[in-house]
Amino acid sequence: MRKIITTIISLFYLLSSFGQPPAGSLKITHLTGDFYIYTTYNLYKGTPVPANGLYFITNEGAVIFDTPWDTSQFQPLLDSIKTRHNKSVIFCIATHFHDDRTAGLEYFRNLGIKTYTSKQTDELSKANSKKRAEFLVDKDTTFKIGQYSFQTYFPGHGHTPDNIVLWFEKEKILYGGCLIKSTEDDDLGNLGDANLQAYAGTVKNVRKKCKAPKFVIPGHGDWTNPMSLEHTLSMAEELKKKNNH
């Protein structure tokens, strides 16, 4: 009996250590109304890390913000949206050039989905051999698709030189991508392409443009706390102070 109990306890701890969903997982969670968060996983420094994207359903079809980081989940995401909502994906826009945002652009494009990035993102994607979109946005733009409209906004250099955010003014939904960090994060994450001096000012620009958001979606981690914008600003200001000393 003691041996059986020991085996059960050992199995429990083994399973707990692999509690993070592995690559090959797709999680879809309802946000509000016609809006949903999808999450896929990939390894970063040997650890499974969740990457958030957003999609919403219009009377014309489904719209996706960013593409799955896990390349095995491109088609499962499209299939899940079709099964759940009986709508096909017709539009996708990526918020900066890193793989966790752009990896599926070519795949989606080949299926006839309209794919978009900013012109600056396209230039960086080309220079860094990343996947590229079919259509380019060269300034802040308002898209109206079906019954919804949203704005693209380039607030300045932060996480990357090209990071944009997407803002639903009526619904007060801010999709921040990787510029915005989750409240569970204790640092600004991957700073390889970041501007440490400009980051705080860029987040302030987002706060000024996107007033009183009800939902703030960061690129990674927990998205349920709308204070992630303020949390990111606090970390960016602290980092700027440290680098000025």
Q: Cα separation of 160 and 178, whole Å? A: 9
**Cα 136 from chain centroid?**
19
Tokens of 234: 């606090």
**Which entry of 42, 52, 66, 98 is annotated as an active-site residue?**
98
190 is catalytic: yes
Cα distances from 195 to residues 10, 54, 163, in angstroms, run 46, 26, 11
Residue type, 50: P
Cα distances from 205 to residues 164, 209, 230, in angstroms, run 11, 6, 12
**Which entry of 85, 99, 190, 225 is annotated as an active-site residue?**
190
**Which entry of 122, 157, 159, 193 is annotated as an active-site residue?**
159
30 is catalytic: no
The angle at the Cα of 218, spanning 15 to 176, to the nearest 5 degrees, equals: 160
Residues 6+ apart with CB under 8 A from 179: 95, 96, 155, 158, 159, 163, 165, 202, 203, 206, 219, 232
**Which entry of 34, 66, 70, 100 is annotated as an active-site residue?**
100
**Cα 87 from chain centroid?**
22
**Which entry of 66, 96, 122, 220 is annotated as an active-site residue?**
96
The angle at the Cα of 129, spanning 126 to 130, to the nearest 5 degrees, equals: 85
- Produce one character per residue of 27-65: b if its CB has 16 or more CB atoms within 10 Å, e if not: eeeebeebbbbbbbbbeeeeebbbbbbbbbbbeebbbbb
Q: Cα separation of 95 and 159, whole Å? A: 11
85 is catalytic: no
222 is catalytic: no
Which residues participate in catalysis according to the annotation?
A: 96, 98, 100, 159, 190
